[in-house]
A and B are shown apart, each in its own frame.
Chain A
Amino acid sequence: MIPAPFAYARPTTVEEALQAIADCGEDVKVLAGGQSLIPVMRLRLAAPETVVDLGKVAGLRGVRDDGDAIVIGAMTTHSDVLADPLVAEHAPLIAEATGTVADRQVRHRGTFGGALVHADPAGDLPAVALALDAEFVVAGQSGRRTVPAGEFFVDYLTTAVGEGELLVEVRVPKYTGWSMRYEKFNRVAQAWSIVAVAAAVRREDGRIAEARVGLTNMGPTPLRARQVEEALAGAEATAEAVAAAAERAAEGTDPTSDLNAQADYRQHLAKVLTRRAVSTAAGL
């Protein structure tokens, strides 16, 4: 389909981008990789007056080492994330989840930051960022601020990025000594998650010292399975202990019912997938 007419700006720096957004008033959309915005515009479900394309803002691309964290530029493509040695070393969960996003073609255009700001509950990266306690650096004309993952995802397709602001980069703590697993459940290879579970586990002396569990598509925003995490903290690293903890994965969730799955089935899946994700991460 053909989108409705729109004006188009293509800044080359973050400052220019912020200026372009400010100049265009309220009815502006920011284009990153376009993997969600373009289809929505083509279906005429969105018809912004102006599209600000970040494709030429070179400063938003790439991954860098920042001491106890790695920093991923918002416009880093999925395929660049997949190939990045810092991601592989310090946050392999991100690479694993990114590898399940759509297909190769989409991963070459879609971006890390775009997927996070889009905040699709069925998207894979929000739950991963939440599980890893990532921090989101948001730029506005008055400066930059940092938003913790727990406050970033506000509602369905809605984040803490305010009007006139841009997500510029994401800081992910280095997870030395942790092991991780992204357990995704979908019907065909390139589809969104019906439910998915992001798990990170640190083992110590036959026990699970710490665990982080993020849930994809179990509500309007990604969720942390806090009850599971608490049950795992200090638990023996056994299949039984993990299974018992995973039984709590659906507590407090409010998943949707749609063509793929009704809510009760999603809650069941969350338990099974949590058990599998944590078991695999814990090497069980």
Chain B
Amino acid sequence: MTAVEERTGAAAPEKEIGKARRRKEDARLITGRTTWTDNMVLPGMLHLAVVRSPVAHARISNVDVSAAREAPGVVAVFTGRDLAEEQGSLPCAWPVTPDMVNPGHPSIAVDQVNHVGEAVAVIVARSKAAAQDAVELADIDYEPLPVVLDMEEAVKDGADLVHDHLESNTSYHFVFDAGEAGTGGDTEQAFSGADVVVSRRFVQQRLIPAFMEPRSVVVQPQGDNYTMWSATQIPHILRVMAAMVTGIPEHKLRVIAPDVGGGFGGKLQVNPEEILCLLIARRLGKPVKWTETRSESLMTAHHGRDQVQFVDIAADREGNILGLRVRLLADMGAYLRLITPGVPALGAFMYPGIYKFPAYRFECDGVFTNKVPTDAYRGAGRPEATFAIERIMDELAVELGMDPLELRRKNWIDAAEFPFTTVAGLAYDSGDYEAATQQALQLLGYDELREEQRRRRESGDPVQLGIGISTFTEMCGLAPSRVLGSLAFGAGGWEHASIRMLPTGKVEVVTGSTPHGQGHETAWSQLVADSLGVPFEDVEVLHGDTAISSRGLDTYGSRSLVVGGSAVVRAADKVIAKARKIAAHLLEASEDDLEFADGKFSVRGTPGTGLGIQEIALAIFAAHDYPEGIEPSIDADATFDPENFSFPHGTHLCAMEVDTETGFVKIRKYASVDDVGTIVNPLIVEGQVHGGLAQGIAQALYEEAIYDADGNLTTGTFVDYLVPSAADLPHFDTGNTVHAAPGNPIGAKGVGEAGCIASTPAVVNAALDAVRHLGVTDIRMPLTPERVWRAIHQGGDGGDRAAARSNAQAVDSSDAPSTSGGAL
């Protein structure tokens, strides 16, 4: 690293874009010596603890918080009844159909609880410990109602209802039909004429985002102004929404997302506790803080996925695909949160994947259950779609007796066909699926592993080997505002940036795309260093405070570099344009004769002349000498609204060992080649791919949020909700192809979700490839050893897990014999 960071005076500075810069922000993030929300201490600050429902579905018949109110250190206790008139409803910004049913979402339950963990009272105390101690003193009576957990049961006629004032448990029925949209042929016709139809039911298990920093909120009232610090991905959206929910005028509310420790979509939310903190700070006129425990986080922060997918694919005998039909049941949980209904709908456009389907129909029912709501989780709709298409392509290949890669190759979009409008109506921008696949095959050592697979099969080795393929694309760079409008989304998809040139020549970049661990500060500095020709170290990136970054739409959907970075580049262009006029004036030359390179304006054909942009910054600060008719500033801002999505793609290959005696699966080798367009920082890209792979592999092998028959979250700690560590994951062989995105000035496509989207089907396909000759056709995720073993030895997909009992002795020990006297 040292070598590339040294600058020599004379030579032109190296381009920053493409340089594997270590991240500026890491030292403070990794050591924790920074402004995490929970580090905030304000004079007179009070602490909140939330009393939560221990039952999944019940009427609240009595609430007695008198003992809690009397507890030492307790200042106030609020029940749902106390806040009923002012709490409004948490917002849902994505009514995917005009007749979508939204039951409303109280921040604190008033008459009825609809999932375990729902807030029923809030303790306010002088210390966090005092608040927590008083939680146990709240006495709440519940009259149980029937618990609705299974979507396939919930949609039947006469099913028990989650919300008994509604007619059914179905929130909406969303349809995309390519025939009706004019982007494809008639699906029924395509299927009726097909030689081969393969139908499968896939289960996308419920997942928990499990960000590293738990959610935390601080609210400080100052007169009728409020400042909220929150560990959120979306300070800008939160400000608008919180203002609308609470009635605090938007200009009286400032939201700050300080350093935020991960989100993965889990902090793309307007949380009940954020609203409760505002309401209580307003009532008491005192600053308040709420920080969740890990148990609260797993139980009450929104979950992800949880869909049942019915997928049909039609093809002729030669393997030409003819049609795709997808029907989804999507578990909303008990309520609709910010984009709960939109997640499966966002996936609707990705099911055709990289293939040239002539016909396609998608239907989705959003279903209420007595569980915590689902919402965005890394990939949000696209991992589900990618899983379904990449799994069904393998199943079709088996049915046809074709090599799974040959089947894909026969049907994917060729490099020469870009831009290509798919059957779902999306215009894929650029790429080369064959090139990515060839590179991935090399990285994996495909031929050798196939040979080893053959040997193991012939010898009947207890450890069998399989290779799984996932050739994927995703829609990123969310999003063109007009497209979002056409999908009834409640906001646009543009992004804003401004650049402030300081008198000493240093540069402040203000971005509306709020990072929560992605490395914006480093990447944006690289962009600006190249655009303005200033040193990387001279750039500071400001973000996350609505008073500093006034306009923004935050970070999700692999949008930051593609949309937010583009706004930065456009703002830099404007700075240069404004500086050009000053430079022409000071150099006594015509603007047309000036060229700008490496941070300097010089007069064409006049060597030795020149004026640096950092010098111009000082000159215009002094403002002693500048042209008539312009303002004395070279600061600029820009708003970038993409015209199209960007479409990263890639080929992921997984080689998997399956111990047929125990069912244990172990990734032998993993190779991925991703085309994310222009790479600004290869180190950040590599990091995003690694993290994404870990999360996608985790869905395939480890993670599953499980409720027991009463609606209790059995996986309530990390003992049972298994998040893998580096010790459980293989070395990743990663590579890239680069086809610049034509839709933005950087050429970037987005990398935040690629690894997570692509890897899950590659892993499952690999495990199935290892044991398919033993009669296994499906294994439900996650592929626990028990499920794999049962699928091999008993048939089926591995079956249900024993949900009534956790593995954590701690959770069961309440009814265990006393261990008094023993040393724990």
Binding site for B on A (CB under 8 A): 1-2, 4-5, 21, 26-32, 34-37, 39-40, 43-46, 54, 74, 103, 111, 113-114, 117-122, 155-159, 161-167, 185, 187-192, 194, 256-262, 265, 268-269, 272-273
A-B contact sample (9 more), CB < 8 A, given A157-B819, A188-B725, A258-B805: A2-B132, A4-B136, A157-B816, A158-B816, A188-B722, A188-B728, A189-B727, A190-B725, A192-B719
Task: Evaluate contact between A37 and B824: CB separation under 8 angstroms.
Answer: yes
Q: Given A36-B810, A45-B813, A259-B803, are A191 and B822 neighbors across the interface (CB < 8 Å)? A: no
Which B residue's beta carbon lies closest to that of A262? Answer: B802
Q: Given A2-B132, A258-B802, A259-B715, are A36 and B662 neighbors across the interface (CB < 8 Å)? A: no
Task: Evaluate contact between B719 and A191: CB separation under 8 angstroms.
Answer: yes
Task: Evaluate contact between B725 and A189: CB separation under 8 angstroms.
Answer: yes
The answer to whether B790 has its CB under 8 Å from any CB of chain A is yes
Task: Evaluate contact between B821 and A21: CB separation under 8 angstroms.
Answer: yes
Task: Evaluate contact between A30 and B786: CB separation under 8 angstroms.
Answer: no
Q: Given A259-B803, A260-B786, are A5 and B133 neighbors across the interface (CB < 8 Å)? A: yes
25 chain-A/chain-B pairs, Cβ below 8 angstroms: A2-B128, A31-B824, A32-B824, A36-B824, A118-B824, A119-B822, A122-B807, A157-B816, A157-B817, A157-B822, A158-B818, A164-B821, A167-B823, A188-B724, A189-B727, A257-B802, A258-B805, A258-B807, A259-B706, A259-B801, A259-B802, A259-B805, A261-B785, A272-B661, A272-B662
Which A residue's beta carbon lies closest to that of B817? Answer: A158
Task: Evaluate contact between B806 and A159: CB separation under 8 angstroms.
Answer: no
Task: Evaluate contact between A39 and B725: CB separation under 8 angstroms.
Answer: no
Chain B residues whose CB sits within 8 angstroms of the CB of A122 once the complex forms: 807, 809
Task: Evaluate contact between B664 and A1: CB separation under 8 angstroms.
Answer: no
Which A residue's beta carbon lies closest to that of B809? Answer: A120
Docked pose: A256 CA to B817 CA in angstroms: 16
The answer to whether B112 has its CB under 8 Å from any CB of chain A is no
Docked pose: A241 CA to B814 CA in angstroms: 44
Q: Mark B655-681, 1 if CB is under 8 A from A, else 0.
A: 000000110100000000000000000
Task: Evaluate contact between A187 and B295: CB separation under 8 angstroms.
Answer: no
Task: Evaluate contact between A258 and B813: CB separation under 8 angstroms.
Answer: no
Q: Please provide the chain B residues from 678 to 735 with a CB less than 8 Å away from any CB of chain A in the complex.
A: 702, 706, 714-715, 717, 719-720, 722, 724-725, 727-728
Chain B residues whose CB sits within 8 angstroms of the CB of A120 once the complex forms: 809
Binding site for A on B (CB under 8 A): 128-129, 132-133, 136, 293, 295, 661-662, 664, 702, 706, 714-715, 717, 719-720, 722, 724-725, 727-728, 784-786, 789-790, 801-807, 809-811, 813-814, 816-824
Chain A residues whose CB sits within 8 angstroms of the CB of B706 once the complex forms: 259
B821 to chain A, nearest CB (A): 5
Which B residue's beta carbon lies closest to that of A28? Answer: B820
Chain B residues whose CB sits within 8 angstroms of the CB of A157 once the complex forms: 809, 813, 816-817, 819, 822
B551 to chain A, nearest CB (A): 39
Task: Evaluate contact between A261 and B821: CB separation under 8 angstroms.
Answer: no
Contacting residue for A44 out of B136, B664, B720, CB 8 A: B136
Task: Evaluate contact between B714 and A32: CB separation under 8 angstroms.
Answer: no
Task: Evaluate contact between B824 and A1: CB separation under 8 angstroms.
Answer: no
A156 to chain B, nearest CB (A): 5
Task: Evaluate contact between B133 and A257: CB separation under 8 angstroms.
Answer: no
Q: Given A45-B810, A187-B722, A189-B727, are A158 and B295 neighbors across the interface (CB < 8 Å)? A: no
Docked pose: A259 CA to B724 CA in angstroms: 16
Task: Evaluate contact between A155 and B809: CB separation under 8 angstroms.
Answer: no
Docked pose: A35 CA to B819 CA in angstroms: 15
Chain A residues whose CB sits within 8 angstroms of the CB of B727 once the complex forms: 103, 188-190
Docked pose: A111 CA to B824 CA in angstroms: 9
Chain B residues whose CB sits within 8 angstroms of the CB of A36 once the complex forms: 809-810, 824
Task: Evaluate contact between A260 and B824: CB separation under 8 angstroms.
Answer: no
Task: Evaluate contact between B805 and A118: CB separation under 8 angstroms.
Answer: no
> By CB atoms of chain A within 10 A, which of B132, B661, B821 has the most?
B821
Docked pose: A257 CA to B724 CA in angstroms: 23
Q: Given A157-B816, A268-B789, are A54 and B136 neighbors across the interface (CB < 8 Å)? A: no
Task: Please give me the 10 A-B residue pairs with the lowest Cβ-Cβ distance, nearest first.
Answer: A37-B824, A189-B727, A117-B822, A258-B805, A32-B823, A30-B823, A257-B802, A1-B293, A2-B132, A117-B823
Docked pose: A268 CA to B790 CA in angstroms: 11
Which B residue's beta carbon lies closest to that of A4? Answer: B133
A17 to chain B, nearest CB (A): 10
> By CB atoms of chain B within 10 A, which of A161, A163, A188, A262 has the most?
A188
Q: Given A159-B822, A258-B802, are A45 and B811 neighbors across the interface (CB < 8 Å)? A: yes
Q: Given A259-B720, A260-B786, are A26 and B820 neighbors across the interface (CB < 8 Å)? A: yes
Chain B residues whose CB sits within 8 angstroms of the CB of A119 once the complex forms: 819, 822
Docked pose: A164 CA to B784 CA in angstroms: 43
Chain B residues whose CB sits within 8 angstroms of the CB of A74 once the complex forms: 823
Chain A residues whose CB sits within 8 angstroms of the CB of B129 once the complex forms: 2, 5
Chain B residues whose CB sits within 8 angstroms of the CB of A190 once the complex forms: 725, 727
Docked pose: A5 CA to B719 CA in angstroms: 25
A75 to chain B, nearest CB (A): 8
Docked pose: A26 CA to B818 CA in angstroms: 11
Task: Evaluate contact between A269 and B801: CB separation under 8 angstroms.
Answer: no
Which B residue's beta carbon lies closest to that of A165? Answer: B821
Chain B residues whose CB sits within 8 angstroms of the CB of A21 once the complex forms: 821
Contacting residue for A30 out of B136, B720, B818, B824, CB 8 A: B824
Task: Evaluate contact between A187 and B817: CB separation under 8 angstroms.
Answer: no
Task: Evaluate contact between A114 and B802: CB separation under 8 angstroms.
Answer: no
Docked pose: A120 CA to B128 CA in angstroms: 31
B110 to chain A, nearest CB (A): 26
A117 to chain B, nearest CB (A): 4
Which B residue's beta carbon lies closest to that of A263? Answer: B802
Which A residue's beta carbon lies closest to that of B293? Answer: A1
Chain A residues whose CB sits within 8 angstroms of the CB of B802 once the complex forms: 257-259, 261-262
Docked pose: A1 CA to B214 CA in angstroms: 12
Which B residue's beta carbon lies closest to that of A51? Answer: B824
Which B residue's beta carbon lies closest to that of A17? Answer: B823
A200 to chain B, nearest CB (A): 22
Chain B residues whose CB sits within 8 angstroms of the CB of A155 once the complex forms: 817
Q: Given A43-B295, A45-B810, are A187 and B662 neighbors across the interface (CB < 8 Å)? A: no
Contacting residue for A1 out of B295, B661, B719, B724, CB 8 A: B295
Chain B residues whose CB sits within 8 angstroms of the CB of A31 once the complex forms: 823-824
Docked pose: A26 CA to B662 CA in angstroms: 44
Q: Given A156-B816, A265-B790, are A187 and B810 neighbors across the interface (CB < 8 Å)? A: no
Chain A residues whose CB sits within 8 angstroms of the CB of B820 once the complex forms: 26-29, 163
Task: Evaluate contact between B821 and A161: CB separation under 8 angstroms.
Answer: yes
Chain B residues whose CB sits within 8 angstroms of the CB of A159 once the complex forms: 822
Contacting residue for A269 out of B662, B728, B817, CB 8 A: B662
Q: Given A27-B820, A156-B816, A259-B806, are A265 and B786 neighbors across the interface (CB < 8 Å)? A: yes
Which B residue's beta carbon lies closest to that of A5? Answer: B133
Chain B residues whose CB sits within 8 angstroms of the CB of A27 once the complex forms: 820
Task: Evaluate contact between A188 and B807: CB separation under 8 angstroms.
Answer: no
Task: Evaluate contact between B822 and A30: CB separation under 8 angstroms.
Answer: yes
Chain B residues whose CB sits within 8 angstroms of the CB of A26 once the complex forms: 820
Which A residue's beta carbon lies closest to that of B723? Answer: A188
B35 to chain A, nearest CB (A): 23
Task: Evaluate contact between A158 and B821: CB separation under 8 angstroms.
Answer: no
> By CB atoms of chain A within 10 A, which of B295, B784, B802, B809 has the most?
B809
B658 to chain A, nearest CB (A): 14
Chain B residues whose CB sits within 8 angstroms of the CB of A117 once the complex forms: 819, 822-824
Chain B residues whose CB sits within 8 angstroms of the CB of A258 once the complex forms: 802, 805-807
Q: Given A259-B720, A261-B786, are A162 and B823 neighbors across the interface (CB < 8 Å)? A: no
Chain A residues whose CB sits within 8 angstroms of the CB of B809 once the complex forms: 36, 120-122, 157
Chain B residues whose CB sits within 8 angstroms of the CB of A2 once the complex forms: 128-129, 132-133
Docked pose: A167 CA to B524 CA in angstroms: 59
Task: Evaluate contact between B805 and A257: CB separation under 8 angstroms.
Answer: yes
Which A residue's beta carbon lies closest to that of B72? Answer: A5
B413 to chain A, nearest CB (A): 38
A115 to chain B, nearest CB (A): 9
Chain A residues whose CB sits within 8 angstroms of the CB of B821 once the complex forms: 21, 28, 30, 161-166
B791 to chain A, nearest CB (A): 12
Task: Evaluate contact between B824 and A34: CB separation under 8 angstroms.
Answer: yes
